[in-house]
């Protein structure tokens, strides 16, 4: 709800039609997903892609590459502005690989340093390692790491460290395998 000059309004997201399943799943849309949002999980998990997705929804390699680059650039731009999404996950990226399109959604937890602190910890597979290791601490404990630009980019650093194989004991959980782009300096 939004109030402005004595008037009430409702702010609701609206997405282009191509971010909703046109054909749905295989075998006559057995999963009943036709018309639902194309969340990233349907295209990131090989099991879901190969077993359930209607081939016309999948697109080609170039479409997937382009659909990956767009959210990576969006997150990089947020980070360059000093902001953090704080809840990146498969559900918060809509993907249309058949057209090479994607968008980052659900930015209501946007972290603005000095103005809006994080109010969500994040989605388990996507939480930075230092946020996970201090999640048992109270929210106001100075030793606790909360989502911010630096913790979002640490996922990328963890991925690089595990792929370089030059460090021992580096974290290589699920979030490290789903990088959204190159960390910004």
Q: How far is Cα 40 from Cα 89, in angstroms, rounded to an integer?
A: 8
Number of structural domains found in the chain? 2
- Is the alpha carbon torsion for 67, 69, 72, 77 positive or negative? negative
Among 110, 139, 154, where does a domain finish?
Answer: 110
- Whether residues 138 and 169 fall in one domain: yes
Per-residue pLDDT at 170 exceeds 90: no
**Three-state SS at 9:** strand
Is residue 142 included in any domain, yes or no?
Answer: yes
Q: Give Cβ neighbours of residue 130 (< 8 Å, ≥ 6 apart).
A: 145, 151, 154
Among 110, 138, 169, where does a domain finish?
Answer: 110
Q: What is the pLDDT of residues 40-90, one digit of tens each?
A: 989 888 888 889 999 999 999 999 999 999 999 998 898 888 888 888 888
Per-residue pLDDT at 169 exceeds 70: no
Q: How far is Cα 43 from Cα 49, in angstroms, rounded to an integer?
A: 6
Q: What is the pLDDT of residues 7-37, one digit of tens each?
A: 888 877 788 999 999 999 999 999 999 999 9
* Local confidence band at 95 (pLDDT 50, 70, 90 cut-offs): very high
pTM here is: 0.68
- Whether residues 104 and 38 fall in one domain: yes
Range of the domain at 78: 17-110
- Is the alpha carbon torsion for 87, 157, 153, 179 positive or negative? negative
- Whether residues 104 and 137 fall in one domain: no
């Amino acid at each position: 709800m939004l109030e402005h000059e004595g008037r009430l309004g409702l702010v609701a997201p609206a997405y282009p039609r191509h971010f909703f399943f046109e054909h749905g799943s295989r075998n006559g849309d057995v999963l009943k997903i036709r018309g639902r949002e194309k969340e990233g999980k349907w295209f990131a998990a090989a099991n879901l892609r190969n077993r359930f997705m209607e081939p016309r929804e999948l697109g080609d390699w170039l479409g997937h590459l382009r659909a990956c680059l767009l959210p990576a650039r969006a997150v990089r731009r947020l980070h360059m502005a000093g902001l953090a999404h704080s809840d990146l996950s498969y559900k918060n990226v809509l993907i249309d690989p058949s057209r090479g399109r994607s968008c980052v959604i659900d930015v209501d937890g946007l972290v603005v340093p000095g103005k809006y602190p994080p109010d969500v910890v994040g989605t388990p597979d996507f939480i930075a390692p230092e946020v996970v290791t201090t999640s048992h601490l109270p929210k106001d404990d100075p030793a606790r790491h909360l989502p911010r630009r630096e913790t979002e980019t640490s996922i990328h650093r963890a991925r690089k460290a595990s792929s370089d194989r030059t460090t021992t004991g580096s974290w290589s959980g699920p979030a490290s395998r789903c990088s959204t782009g190159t960390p910004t300096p």
